[in-house]
Amino acid sequence: MRKTKKDIIYYLAERPEIAIITNHGYAGPLIPTGGAPDTGGQNYYVNTLARKLEQQGYKITVYTRGGFPFYESTKIRSKTEYLTDNIRYVYIPGGGETFIRKEDIAIALDEELNWLYEYINHEAEIKKCEPWEVYEFINSHYWDAGVLGLSVVERWRNDMVEKSLSQLLSGIISEKELNNLYKERHWMSLGEKPSLFLGLQLLNQESIKNHDIQLKIRAAATSWASGKGLQANEENILVDAAEEALSRLENTFEPALKELVVASALGNSILMMSPESDDSLKRNLDRIDRHVWTPHSLGEIKDYNYRNRTLDVRRDLKFCERRNHERMICHRTRAIIATSTKIAEYLWTHFRVPVNETFYFPPCIDGDTFRPYTEQELNPTYKYMSKICGISVNKLKQSKIIFETSRMDHTKRKDLLIKAFGKIVSDYDDIYLFIGGGPKNELFNTLQNQISDIPELKGRAFLTAPIPDEHIGKIFSIAHIYASASEMEGFGMSVSQSAAAGVPIVSSDLIPYSLYYSPDHTEIFPAGNSVAFAKGIKKLLDNNDLWRKNSENLQIQAKSLNWEAKTKEFLDYLESKRIINNG
C-alpha cells in the first residue's frame, strides 16, 4: 500500500508506540455526534486518552472495525486516518460489509483477529523487531476489543513457544514435524502449556508413536539424550520423572490421557534440565503479556439493571454470552482498568479480579469545553437555540433551561424526562426543556409525537437533534438544570460534564457518577419513576439556595477528574506492574 505524507510523518516519529483497540460502533477521528448506534462516551474517552498519551511522549495506533460504510455515508471505513500526527486510526476488516451491533459483534472477531495479527507482523518487519515489541502495551476497550487484544497476545505467546520448541527439538525430530508444529501452533495453543507440547513432540515421533506407553517413555528419553549428547544417568532422570507421573494416575485413566500426563512430565523435566531455555522462555512469555483491559461496563451489571425486563428484551442483549467473554478476559489479563466504582466492585466480587490488578481511571472532564462561560461567549449558542425553538434570545436568557443530551436510545429514557417535565411545566412561565441527540430515527419521531400529544408542552419542549461541537459545551453552561433518566450507564459522562459546568443535576439512581461522586449534591430519583423525577426538578427550581449550593459543590468535585494527572498515574501503575518500562 502506498504511504501518504501523514503515514510517513507517523512512521518517522521517534516515539514509543501504544496500541488501543475500540472495536464496535463508529469509532474514528471524527465521532458521529448524530446518535450513531453503539457510539458515544467510550469513543470520546478513547480519543481523549490517546491525546493525553501523546502528550506523555507516545504515538498511538487505535484499531477499530472497518470494512463497512461510515455513518450516514457510502464511503467505506478502510485504510488509515489520523486524529493527530501521532495518533492514527487503522480500520480492521471482518464480519462483512455492514454495521454489526455490539451484541452481535462476536461473529466478526475471528476474522478481525487474523487480519490484526498479520498487520502487526508487517509493522514488526518495518521496525525490524518482534511483533510483540511493536507496542509498549495494548489497551483494549469493552469486551469485544478485550477478546481481540487478549487473542493477539496469545498468538504471540504461541509464536514464542514454537520458536523455543523448534530450537530445542532441532536435530531430534524431523523437519516435517517441525514444520507441522509451526503450521498448527495457534490451533494447539502452544503458549498455554509448553512442557506438554514439548513432551508430545518426542512421544509422537514417527519411529515410536505406535509403541505402548512404557516403551514410548524410554524411546523418547533416548531420542532426546542422544540428540543432545547427554549421559545415561541424565536419560534415566527423564524416564524416572515420566514413570513417577504415570504411577500416580488412577487405573480409570484412559491410555490417551495417561500419555498427556506423561508428556507434560517429560517436557517439564527437559525444561528443568535446560535452565537457560526455561528461564528465557518464561521471561519472554512474561514480556509478551502486556494486554490492559478497560471494560467501560460489565454484562453482569447491565443484567442486574435489566433483571425485571421482559424476556424478549433480555434475550436480545445476550448477557450470558457477554459475561462469559468478560470472565475469560479477567482470568487472563494482568491489568484491568475500572472506569467506575460499581465496575471495580463487580470486578472484585463477581469476576474475582485481585484488587492490585485493578486501576481506577474514570472518564475525566475536558475542562476547556465543559465549564462556565461568559455571556459574550454564549451569545452564538443562544442564537442557535433560538433558531431551533422560535423563542427570542432575550427571553431565553431570562428563562430556566432544563437540558439533556445523549444518543437516541431507549435506555436513556428521554420519554420519562418528557413525562416528568409535563407534570410541572404549567407551574412555571419561564422553564423550557431542550433534549439533544440523534439520529432522527423511529425513537426520535416517537418522542416528537409524545411532545405533540401533551398540550402543555407546546412551545415549551424541544428536540434539538444532534448538537454541533461548537455549541455542546456552551449549552451545558446555559442550562439551569441537567436532567437524566438514563437506565444504562457505565459512568455518566454527560452528568460529570454538567458538574464541571456548574449545572445542578437531577439523575436516576442508575448513573454511577451521581451515586459515587456527588450523591450529596445531586437530586437522585428511582429509575423509571416520573413522579419522583418531576419532584427533583421542581425542588431545584423552587430553592435558589439549594441550586447555588449544588452548583458550587459540583464544580469543586469535578476538578478531581483531571485527564493529565490521571493519565500519568495510569502509566505509573503500568510501570509498577512491569508492563512498561519508563526508565
Q: Which three cell numbers stand for residue 14?
A: 521517534
Sheet-wide strand order for 335-338: 80-84, 87-92, 59-65, 17-22, 138-141, 291-294, 335-338, 358-360
- Whether 34 has a pLDDT exceeding 70, the answer reads no
Let me know if residue 144 belongs to a domain: no
- Whether 582 has a pLDDT exceeding 70, the answer reads no
Please, are residues 388 and 471 in contact by the beta-carbon 8 Å criterion?
no
Residues linked to residue 140 through DSSP beta bridges, in sequence order: 21, 293
* Average pLDDT of span 342-362: 93
- Whether 583 has a pLDDT exceeding 60, the answer reads no
Beta strands in 93-161 (DSSP E): 138-141
- Cα 164 to Cα 198: distance, rounded to the nearest angstrom: 10
Residues above pLDDT 90, as percent of the chain: 80
With bands split at pLDDT 50, 70 and 90, how would you rate the model's confidence at 471?
A: very high
Q: Which residues contact 545 (CB under 8 A, 6 or more apart)?
A: none
Let me know if residue 446 belongs to a domain: yes
Question: Which of 71, 102, 136 is the C-terminal boundary of a domain?
Answer: 136
What is the structure's pLDDT at 494? 93
More confident residue, 224 or 469: 224
**Same domain? 436 vs 539:** yes
What is the structure's pLDDT at 519? 94
**Same domain? 496 vs 510:** yes
CA angle 348, 315, 511 (to 5 degrees): 45
Mean pLDDT (the chain) is 93
Q: Which residues contact 58 (CB under 8 A, 6 or more apart)?
A: 15, 16, 17, 18, 86, 136
What is the structure's pLDDT at 516? 87
Q: Which domain holds residue 482?
A: 375-561
Please, are residues 30 and 468 in contact by the beta-carbon 8 Å criterion?
no
Q: Treating both helix axes as pointing N-terminal to C-terminal, what angle do 530-542 and 414-424 enclose, rounded to 10 degrees?
A: 50
**Same domain? 262 vs 132:** no
The enclosing H or E element of 238 equals helix 232-247
**Same domain? 555 vs 569:** no
C-alpha distance from residue 62 to each of 17, 48, 108, 566 (Å) = 11, 12, 18, 20
* Average pLDDT of span 177-186: 93
**Same domain? 582 vs 483:** no
- Whether 287 has a pLDDT exceeding 70, the answer reads yes
**Same domain? 65 vs 115:** yes
With bands split at pLDDT 50, 70 and 90, how would you rate the model's confidence at 40?
A: confident
- Whether 220 has a pLDDT exceeding 70, the answer reads yes
Q: Which residues contact 577 (CB under 8 A, 6 or more apart)?
A: 334, 335, 357
**Same domain? 439 vs 342:** no
The number of domains in the chain is 4
* Average pLDDT of span 228-237: 90
Let me know if residue 143 belongs to a domain: no
**Same domain? 214 vs 122:** no
Question: Which of 105, 136, 167 is the C-terminal boundary of a domain?
Answer: 136
**Same domain? 316 vs 433:** no
What is the structure's pLDDT at 462? 97
What is the structure's pLDDT at 1? 60
**Same domain? 316 vs 335:** yes
**Same domain? 569 vs 544:** no
- Whether 426 has a pLDDT exceeding 60, the answer reads yes
**Same domain? 400 vs 543:** yes
The predicted-structure confidence for 472-531, as pLDDT tens digits, reads as follows 999 999 999 999 999 988 788 899 999 999 999 999 999 989 998 899 999 999 999 999
